[in-house]
Amino acid sequence: MDLLIKNICCIGAGYVGGPTMAVIADKCPEIKVNVVDINKERIESWNSFDLDRLPVYEPGLDKIIERCRGRNLNFSNNIAHTIASADMIFISVNTPTKKKGLGAGQASDLKWVEASARQVAKYAKGHTIVVEKSTLPVKTAKVIQNILKTSKQNSNKNEPTFEVLSNPEFLAEGTAIKDLELPDRVLIGGENKHAIDALSSIYEKWVPKQKILHTNIWSSEMAKLTANAFLAQRISSINSISALCEKTGAEVKEVAHAIGTDSRIGKKFLSAGPGFGGSCFKKDILNLVYLYKYYGLDEAADYWSGVLKINNWQKKRIANYVIDKLNGTVSDKKITILGFSFKANTNDTRESPSIDICLDLLEEGAILSIHDPKVDENQIRLEFEERNFKNDTKWTFNSKIDENFQDSHAVIILTEWDQYSDLDWFKIEKLMLKPAWVFDTRMILNLDTIKKSNINFWRLGKIINENKLTPN
């Protein structure tokens, strides 16, 4: 059997499909990589001449798109034709939590994965390797295999054949290109040696062979969910410690550093913050919880639910802390929000802690002035509307950062964008109403500078003795 892959199709041009395929195209100029999507606007943006208009912001992505687009990387809505000419198809579509029906609020909604499998079954020709790139509940490969098998039996075209592999993606947003170019590992789950070798040979163009792990297909699906659950668990653990630090005089940054030097614990993923966001941690843990319940393993379901419970509590307690420090009321008070993306270096706002914290303050009557270097006003509106908050008169967005501080009672740093770490607080202080407050939920501000200003300052995970209550 010919192992050489010449034509790749990726279904789904999102945060994973776009950057992943761009890197494959860059590293394998001999392979044609075609990314397809049902969303016309998204494809138009991927094809935009203005690289600032790419639908995904990732450092380094624009350069790769510039190099490869039109050479061996193409974006289109031509799904049927692209599937027909591919010898390997990546399914990289969204797998959000189900909103209604059986398992609503926990199970992953696999309708986009199923639809992709049906498109593959309908249009594929010859022998096609189908690769699960999306994060999926364990056993989904069986669903895909069944769709492909059944359609084959019903079809009268020239009998395509399929192999299904699992190849979950571990990139993090904001560092996607680095993660794809220098991955800790590439995971391939499957049984068929030819198919596994074909996929491995693509990664071997730039990833050392010993970093390409092979497992059975269920272990691969399970490992992806487990990795995200463990990462989220670490964040909830350190966030729970941050609250105790604030009561006792310990400093969470120092505690994290002290425990992180233990090589068994390791130093990564120990930054306390306003709670984890992003499209995946919550949905993947909910999915695990659903699987545990499905198999009657309720104690384990409760254990992992606890990680989400702490995450919600962290967001809530930050909003409550701000309200408390502003004399128990934020009604009609202007508050400046710095950062709306769920982490720095991405324009993604899905499940951003900023959403819940802003909505809690809006609910209390605050008037918000929001800034983010990569998120636009429309995206913020969509997030608020999604949570049924539709009052546009209570918040504004201003991309000119300095204009957000005028007459503000408080500033809350919610995303760790670099530019927020060295703001001129002496200048800002003059614009704000007194007593002025800064709440740093990302622990990025220079304490020496802020302490010299007349602004009251709170840092997550640390007791601060505020006494600068100078009235206006």
List contacts with ligand UGA (CB under 6 A): 135, 169-173, 228, 231, 235, 269-271, 273, 276-281, 342-343
225 binds ligand NAD (CB under 6 A): no
- As a whole number of angstroms, the distance between CA 115 and CA 32 comes to 24
Residue 280 appears among annotated catalytic residues: yes
> 87 or 169, CB closer to ligand NAD?
169
- As a whole number of angstroms, the distance between CA 305 and CA 317 comes to 18
User: In the set 135, 314, 345, 354, which binds ligand NAD (CB under 6 A)?
Assistant: 135
Structure tokens at 63: 């350069």
Q: Looking at this protein, which amino acid is placed at residue 127?
A: H
> 34 or 279, CB closer to ligand UGA?
279
CA dist 104 → 36, 160, 183, 305, 309 (Å): 29, 35, 34, 15, 18
- As a whole number of angstroms, the distance between CA 69 and CA 53 comes to 14
Q: Residue 463 binds which one of ligand NAD, ligand UGA, none, with CB within 5 to 8 A depending on kind? A: none
Q: Looking at this protein, which amino acid is placed at residue 362?
A: L
Q: Are 404 and 369 in contact (CB under 8 A)?
A: yes
Q: Residue 276 binds which one of ligand UGA, ligand NAD, none, with CB within 5 to 8 A depending on kind? A: ligand UGA
Q: Residue 270 binds which one of ligand UGA, ligand NAD, none, with CB within 5 to 8 A depending on kind? A: ligand UGA
Instruction: In angstroms, give the least distance from the CB of 400 to ligand NAD.
Output: 29
23 binds ligand NAD (CB under 6 A): no
Instruction: In angstroms, give the least distance from the CB of 346 to ligand UGA.
Output: 7
E-state strands within 92-194:
127-132, 161-166, 186-189
Q: Is the peptide bond before 168 cis (omega within 30 degrees of 0)?
A: no
> 277 or 461, CB closer to ligand UGA?
277
280 binds ligand NAD (CB under 6 A): yes
Q: Are 35 and 19 in contact (CB under 8 A)?
A: no
Q: Residue 292 binds which one of ligand NAD, ligand UGA, none, with CB within 5 to 8 A depending on kind? A: none
112 binds ligand NAD (CB under 6 A): yes
> 42 or 371, CB closer to ligand NAD?
42
Instruction: In angstroms, give the least distance from the CB of 224 to ligand NAD.
Output: 7
User: In the set 34, 72, 92, 408, which binds ligand NAD (CB under 6 A)?
Assistant: 92
Binding positions for ligand NAD, 370-399, rule CB under 6 A: none
Q: Are 139 and 34 in contact (CB under 8 A)?
A: no
Instruction: In angstroms, give the least distance from the CB of 178 to ligand UGA.
Output: 12
14 binds ligand NAD (CB under 6 A): yes
15 binds ligand NAD (CB under 6 A): yes
Helices 217-248 & 252-260 angle (0-180, nearest 10):
140
Q: Are 228 and 135 in contact (CB under 8 A)?
A: yes
Buried b (16+ CB within 10 A) or exposed e, 13-52: bbbbbbbbbbbbbbbbeebbbbbbbbeeebbebbeeeeee
Instruction: In angstroms, give the least distance from the CB of 285 to ligand NAD.
Output: 12
Binding positions for ligand NAD, 138-197, rule CB under 6 A: 169, 171, 173
Determine the 3-state secondary structure of 54 from DSSP: coil
26 binds ligand NAD (CB under 6 A): no
82 binds ligand NAD (CB under 6 A): no
- As a whole number of angstroms, the distance between CA 90 and CA 164 comes to 10
Per-position x/- string for 114-133, each x denoting binding to ligand NAD as judged by CB under 6 A, each - no binding: -xx--x--------------
- Which residues have C-beta within 8 Å of that of residue 73, sequence separation ≥ 6? 21, 22, 25, 26, 33, 35, 65
Q: Residue 12 binds which one of ligand UGA, ligand NAD, none, with CB within 5 to 8 A depending on kind? A: ligand NAD
β 395-397/367-371 pair status? parallel
Instruction: In angstroms, give the least distance from the CB of 442 to ligand UGA.
Output: 8
Nearest C-alpha neighbor of 73 from the set 42, 45, 47: 47
Coarse DSSP helix, strand, coil percentages of the chain, rounded to the nearest 5 percent: 45, 15, 40
Instruction: In angstroms, give the least distance from the CB of 200 to ligand NAD.
Output: 20
> 236 or 456, CB closer to ligand UGA?
236
- Which residues have C-beta within 8 Å of that of residue 351, sequence separation ≥ 6? 277, 278, 279, 281, 282, 342
Sheet holding 32-36, edge to edge: 73-76, 32-36, 7-11, 88-91, 127-132, 161-166, 186-189, 212-215
> 14 or 190, CB closer to ligand NAD?
14
Instruction: In angstroms, give the least distance from the CB of 135 to ligand UGA.
Output: 5
Binding positions for ligand NAD, 27-46, rule CB under 6 A: 36-39, 42
Task: Kindly name the residue from 9, 245, 280, 358 that is annotated as catalytic.
Answer: 280
Binding interface with ligand NAD (CB under 6 A): 11-17, 36-39, 42, 79, 92-95, 112, 115-116, 119, 134-135, 169, 171, 173, 279-280
Known catalytic residues?
280
